Amino acid sequence: MGPHAMTASPSGEVFDKLRRHQSPKLALTGKFAGRGAVESSALGSRVTLSDGRSALDFGSYAVTLVGHRHPRVVEAVSRQLEVMPTSTRSLANPVAAEAAAHLADYLGGRLPKIYFGLNGADAVEVSVKLARLATGRERVLAVTGGYHGKTLGALSLTHSPLFRTGLLGCAVDVVHLDPDDPDAVRRQVAEGPVAAVIFEPVQGENGAVPLRTDVLRQWCEDAHAHGAFAIADEIQCGLRRCGERSVALADGLPVDAVLVGKPLGGGVMPLSAVVCTEELYRPLATDPFLHSATFGGHPLSCAALPAALETVEELSGHGRLLADRLAAGLRELHECHPRVLSGFHGRGLLWGLDLSTPGAAGEVVVSLAGDGLLVSPCLSRPTTIRLLPSLATTEAELEEALSILDAALGAATAGLHD
């Protein structure tokens, strides 16, 4: 075994390597959150730390929808690993073909074309690139509060200027719309050509805020009347995270594409996808090398997809029960701690909790992690934290999480100054 072999390191060595080879701030944040310990292993909804403690995972930025290391997904990936873990990229790969057909069928078949990427920004970039090529137009409409990734093209669609610090410009001509203005698209198309409108039916990074269905429907109709495309970014809110396979399709929105990712690889492999119409996909149908990625449609990732979606469906009924109990629990916490928990919003198993101040939010996040509950902060909304439990969470684990949250909110309330 060589000197740089990947072996488990004591936590102090981990933080030292992070400081030296990545970011001192990353090391400090991780050390603070884990109270000096690092993540060691995980199964289901629990993560085990290097000091032996365990924590419930209600974070992971929505990736672990079916929990950690679900045996069905691990088995599917392991089988493919033993046969052909990568692709020649010259010959057709049956695993990618099967995954594409499976995903198109899963979303009802109205959107038959699939492009596979590795992360959400990949899917966003490709969908917007296709819309611009298919229409011959440059301008794209996005939504105030929206988040679509941090690569340069996706970053121009992301609303918060926080992520563009030090960058003078981005690659896409974008106008951001008021999410409560049903006539916003109509006015924009009257002012000049538009290639597409892109929106999250439930805005994740903005604190799990559901957008109005009537507004989104009007936007889609006005975009189509102008010859523009409508793209639903469901990378965080889709695949039953918010109850439905696709929020946009379940709400009857006439979208041309649904973007999915995060849990698509079952919490085991990185995978995202553009699921779209023939019309939007036409530039890639004409020239399949117009956009390509070495690891796009990777066999191990694509092997995970059917297993992941089958598991999601198997757990979906339990997920609805969890969602109802979580919503009720949050109402109870809001009533008990109104001074520090100023509000909450969300859908299904995606919820945002608004704290009274950024300081209170930070205090609660740290307290939760120390007491065994991991959550995801909202980077561009510092007063809000996200709860993202998995479908594999048991009722007892949900009650445990609510109890930990109750204690943290109580402590934060006690620390407020009158």
Residues 6+ apart with CB under 8 A from 410: 336, 337
Six-digit token pair at 136?
A: 């011959």
What does the alpha-carbon distance between residue 228 and residue 195 come to, in Å, rounded to a whole number?
A: 5
User: In angstroms, rounded to a whole number, what is the distance separating the alpha carbons of residues 301 and 238?
Assistant: 18
Residue 165, classified by CB atoms within 10 Å of its CB into exposed (0-12), middle (13-18) or buried (19+), is exposed
Averaged pLDDT, 190-194:
97
Residue 2 in domain: no
Residue in this structure with the two tokens 């917007």, named with its chain if needed:
128
Pair 187, 171: CB distance under 8 Å: no
**Tokens matching residue 379:** 């980077």
Domain boundary among 286, 311, 336: 311
Residue by residue, DSSP assigns 317-328 as HHHHHHHHHHHH
8 A C-beta contact, residue 325 and residue 403: no
Q: Does 129 share its domain with 186?
A: yes
Confidence of residue 397 (pLDDT cuts 50, 70, 90): very high
Per residue in 52-85, pLDDT tens? 999 999 999 999 999 999 999 999 999 999 999 9
- Report if residue 363 sits inside a domain: yes
162 and 238 in a single domain? The answer is yes
Model pLDDT, residue 238: 98
Tokens of 29: 């944040």
Within-domain flag for 408: yes
- What confidence score (pLDDT) does residue 358 get? 94
Output DSSP code: residue 180.
T
pLDDT of 417 reads: 65
Give me the pLDDT at residue 334, please: 98
For 42-77, the DSSP string reads EEBTEEEETTS-EEEES-GGG--TT-BT-HHHHHHH
Q: Are residues 129 and 250 in the same domain?
A: yes
pLDDT classification of 33: cutoffs 50, 70, 90 = confident
The closest of 204, 196, 187, 183 to 231, measured between CA atoms, is: 196
> Rounded mean pLDDT of the chain?
94
Contact 55, 46 (CB under 8 A): yes
Residue 168 pLDDT: 61
> 370-386: b or e for each residue (b if 16 or more CB lie within 10 Å)?
bbbbbbbbbebbebbbb
Specify the pLDDT at position 36.
93
Half-sphere exposure of 115 (CA within 13 A, CB side): 32
User: In 100-247, at which residue ranges do the beta strands (DSSP E only) sit?
Assistant: 113-117, 140-143, 174-177, 196-199, 202-203, 209-210, 229-233
* Amino acid in position 136: G
Query: Quick check: 131 pLDDT over 60?
Result: yes
pLDDT of residue 206: 95
Domain assignment present for residue 3? The answer is no
Tell me what pLDDT residue 39 has. Answer: 95
Q: Is the pLDDT of residue 298 over 60?
A: yes
pTM of the model: 0.94
What is the rounded CA–CA span in Å between residue 359 and residue 276? Answer: 42
Per-residue confidence (pLDDT) for residue 161, from 0 to 100: 78
332 belongs to a structural domain: yes
Domain stops at, among 288, 311, 334: 311
Tokens of 89: 């990229």
Domain of residue 47, residue span: 14-69+315-414
Q: How many domains does the chain have?
A: 2
Residues 80 and 197 in one domain: yes
Residue 260 and residue 141 in one domain? yes
Q: Are 263 and 237 in contact (CB under 8 A)?
A: no
Which CATH number do you get for residue 24? 3.90.1150.10
Q: Which residue has the tokens 């981990």?
A: 14
Helix (H) or strand (E) holding 106: helix 94-106
60 lies in the same domain as 191: no
**Do 273 and 124 share a structural domain?**
yes
Same domain, 184 and 229: yes
The separation between CA 159 and the C-alpha centre of its own chain, rounded to angstroms, equals 16
pLDDT for residue 3: 42
Q: Is the pLDDT confidence value at 221 over 90? A: yes
pLDDT band at 165, cuts 50/70/90? confident
Q: What is the DSSP letter of 170?
A: -
pLDDT tier at 2 (50, 70, 90 boundaries)? very low
Mean pLDDT of 299-308: 98
Is there a domain that residue 188 lies in? yes
3-state secondary structure of 355: strand
Q: What is the CATH number of the domain that holds 232?
A: 3.40.640.10
* CA distance linking residue 206 with residue 217, whole number of Å: 21
Per-residue confidence (pLDDT) for residue 170, from 0 to 100: 58
The answer to the question of residue 5 being in a domain is: no
Same domain, 218 and 133: yes
- Asked whether 44 and 390 are in contact (CB, 8 A), the reply is yes
Same domain (yes/no): 116, 206: yes
pLDDT at 1 over 80: no
Whether residue 401 lies inside any domain: the answer is yes
Q: Does residue 8 carry a pLDDT above 70?
A: no
Same domain, 136 and 193: yes
Residues 178-187, mean pLDDT to the nearest whole number: 98
Name the range with the highest mean pLDDT among 20-34, 159-173, 294-308.
Answer: 294-308
Domain boundary among 263, 291, 311: 311
Per-residue pLDDT at 99: 98
Residues 334 and 264 in one domain: no
